Amino acid sequence: MSSFLGFDPLLVGGLKWTPIVLVLVKVVVVFAVGLVGTMFMVWFERKVIARLQNRLGPNKAGPFGLLQTLADGMKLIFKEDFLPDRADRFVYRLAPFLAFVPAFLVWSVIPLGGDFSGGKDGTVELFGHVTRLQLADPPVGILLVLALSSVAVYGIMLAGWASGSKYPLLGSVRASAQMVSYEAALGLSVAAVLLTAGTLTTSGIVDAQNRFVDWSIVATAFVPFVIFVIAATAELNRPPFDLVEAEQELVGGFNTEYSAFSFALFFLAEFMNTITMSGIIVTLFLGGPQGLFDIPIIPGAIEGTIWFLAKLFVFLYVFVWFRATLPRLRYDQLMDLGWKLLIPASLGWFLLLAGLRVVRDEDWDFWQTLLAGGAGVVVLAVCGALMLLAVNVSRRNREQEDLA
């Protein structure tokens, strides 16, 4: 069988070794896309914010300032690194890699393209093998994404603790609290998508969205989509949730004691995580490489990649837009938003979707079920209002006692 690249699979000793070649090619492509994408994201963010603030941004190094990121990276690599006297040497050196590596590993399960033209299943032929344009497609791919997103906070936490300084430690403690607050809402919004799609694989989630024709999936995923975007912004420590690096209180946050290459890894991890989270959003909620319509003059596999990149750029711009326009929250507002709004909303929506799924599977009468569910919601709302009233009365009594 001739391959997509135009030659037959190679044989060594009568055994096909093209699967190894295929995996190596995918690894190189994912690694190159990650590095180049990070460099582009740094330039893109600086340029867009400059335009939004009526400035020029990078415009000297290379055409349109494209080489400015490369110049900054080279400067950081060749700067002298140092180790604080009171730092834990091993953990101090390890922390930047714990923040940087998970951002790359997530890309291994994100579909980067595929042939969806004419209702195809997204597979292409490479080196004589039918495969998807993603490095791996494990049965629990989305759980791997959640696990890696949780590991990244260890880099921030250990960086603050290992520095042997108070301000980085406070920044890392904030990161841990922020992570716990928003990881629950993020996980519940993902659970709603999994309930609708019925699979844990990223390729299965993309296929379940069915080229945006199944509007029931689009409608039921809207609330989880909004919650996921807000929670993801907090997970990325980006404005308006960048309390971990609040210069006013923490002198730069967890990376205060880092410089040179170690600081460059944290810097790259921040922007790499932004691209990675945008890719996850596109995969979970916007069909990944699936397009709104077919482009006849472009091959199907390339068309899928074009659609994926177009959707990715939209969310990259959204994150930059957030940074340029929204003021930083207070820490109590950050906690209130996570615990009092996002988590109850995501949990309530998940229970609603689960109830609708049970009604559909058991073939219950829809209107009777809706009436019973509405009555239950009213009872819960009344109980919640009474509890809130009791809390407010108790607070007022304590305030009056303190004034007395």
Burial of residue 255 (CB within 10 Å: 0-12, 13-18, 19+) is buried
Distances, alpha carbon 85 to alpha carbons 79, 162, 205, 307, in Å: 19, 11, 49, 50
Q: How far apart are CA 164 and CA 86, in angstroms?
A: 5
Q: Where are the domains of the chain?
A: 11-364, 372-404
CA 188 to chain centre: 14
**3-state class of 129 per DSSP?**
strand
Distance CA 121, CA 287 (A): 12
CA 232 to chain CA mean position, Å: 6
Averaged pLDDT for residues 346-367: 78
Residue count (the chain): 404
Of residues 28 and 402, which shows the higher confidence score? 28
Is the separation of the CB atoms in 319 and 232 below 8 Å? no
The C-alpha angle with vertex 15 and arms to 9 and 19, in degrees rounded to 5, equals 55
Backbone φ and ψ for 166, nearest 5 degrees, come out as -75, -45
Lowest mean pLDDT among 272-281, 328-337, 354-363: 354-363
Rounded Cα distance, 199 and 139, in Å: 8
* Average pLDDT value over all residues in the chain: 80
Contacting residues for 206 by C-beta, under 8 A, at least 6 apart: 111, 114, 122, 283, 287, 288, 289, 290
Task: Write out pLDDT tens, residues 139-151.
Answer: 888 888 888 888 8
Alpha-helix residue ranges (DSSP H) falling in 287-338? 300-325, 331-336
Is the pLDDT score of 75 beyond 80? yes
Closest to 134 measured CA to CA, from 187, 37, 201: 201
List Cβ neighbours of 33 (8 Å cut-off, separation of 6 or more). 107, 112
* pLDDT of 4: 43
pLDDT tens-digit readout, 184-197: 899 889 988 888 88
Higher pLDDT, 299 or 233: 233
Confidence label for 229 from pLDDT (cuts 50, 70 and 90): very high
**Torsion sign, CA atoms 290, 296, 300, 301:** negative
User: In the predicted model, is pLDDT for residue 218 greater than 50?
Assistant: yes
Cβ atoms within 10 Å, residue 278: 24
Whether 298 contacts 221, CB under 8 Å? no
Reported confidence tier of residue 14, pLDDT bands at 50, 70, 90: very low
Residue in the structure block whose two tokens are 């009344």: 382
Structure tokens that stand for 335 in this block: 């906690």
CA distances from 13 to 25, 57, 175 (A): 22, 57, 54
Per-residue model confidence as pLDDT tens digits over 232-260: 998 888 888 887 776 566 666 777 788 88
**Helices 222-235 & 260-285 angle (0-180, nearest 10):** 180
Q: Which residues contact 71 (CB under 8 A, 6 or more apart)?
A: 61
- Rounded to 10 degrees, the C-alpha dihedral 169/173/178/184 comes to 140
- What crossing angle do the helices spanning 222-235 and 166-197 adopt, rounded to 10°? 160
- With b for 16 or more beta-carbon neighbours within 10 A and e for fewer, the 334-372 pattern comes to bbebbeeebbebbbebbeebeebeebeeeeeeeeeeeee
Separation of alpha carbons 168 and 157, rounded Å: 9
